[in-house]
Amino acid sequence: MEMDSDTSLLRSTPTPGVCVLTLNRPATLNALTRELVAEINLALDEIARDPDCRVLVMTGAGKGFCSGQDMKAADERNRKGASGVVEKMFWQENFSGMVRRLRNMPQPVIAAVNGAAVGAGMGLALAADIRFAAPTVRFLIAAVRIGLSAGECGISYHLPRLIGTSRAIPYLLTGRPIDAPEAERIGLVSRVVEADELLPCALDEAKDIIANSPFSIAQTKRVMWQSVDAPSLEAALEIENRTQILATMTDDYKEATAAFAERRPPNFSGR
């Protein structure tokens, strides 16, 4: 699904195996309309099924990553009084569905956070497996400041797991922004890089990932997130053991051992 520059969502393949999904409403810092959310969910479903896409990179056009819900559109709906609870819940589940899809898709997701990541935009960034940030980045849990709960789009789930509960709670309760140096210091992002190096940095990381076998990468992502929520070490070991034995049955594992013995790079086939 290739999109032209007039659309609010761009999809490109800058290098084989890597898909870049760019939110393209720069005038609004890539605020999320209901229509854009539907586009994102459709695109994520398609990418998840695409065997040629090994890594997904998400970023934003212009100076922002994603400023969250389009507040002007929300205000218009509120003034009209047209949205009932059923309709609101439908769209709330569509918003949260973006996060669910990012976490469940087999491909690792890298967020190249190029500017403000607010509300649902922060939720998208936190749902990625890896985050790189530009120096101008500000993460903001906006909902708590507009009469809503700070728990939206997986933020109340991901933030404590990424930076620890004692660090997460003050941000959730105050809505205080997290700038780039602080995000790097507390481990919210892997690295802060200059804006013009951000996408190349994400693509370099993606290149290192796809040097490994497709099965091992997909299973590593799955095992990692399952282990984060595992109730015990024994439960995590059970997941790891089953996955490891499955991996030994692949052609790529046999290729890897042969390549090691022959002192050459492996040539993975995805089988």
* C-alpha atoms less than 13 angstroms from C-alpha of 202 in its C-beta half-sphere: 30
- Say how far apart CA 258 and CA 132 lie, in whole Å: 35
Give CATH superfamily name and number for 9-210. 2-enoyl-CoA Hydratase; Chain A, domain 1 (3.90.226.10)
Vertex 79 angle, CA 25 and 23, to 5°: 10
Tokens of 193: 């890089």
218 contact partners, CB below 8 Å, separation of at least 6: 106, 107
Domain boundaries, the chain: 9-210, 214-262
- The pLDDT value recorded for residue 3 is 39
* pLDDT in single tens digits along all 271 residues of the chain: 343 456 899 999 999 999 999 999 999 999 999 999 999 999 999 999 999 999 999 999 999 999 988 767 666 666 676 667 888 888 888 999 999 999 999 999 999 999 999 999 999 999 999 999 999 999 999 888 888 889 999 999 999 999 999 999 999 999 999 999 999 999 999 999 999 999 999 999 999 999 999 999 999 999 999 999 999 999 999 999 999 999 999 999 999 999 999 999 999 988 9
From 101, 100, 108, select the one nearest 17 (Cα to Cα).
Answer: 108
- The pLDDT value recorded for residue 2 is 40
The SS3 assignment for 13 reads: strand
For the chain, what's the residue count?
271
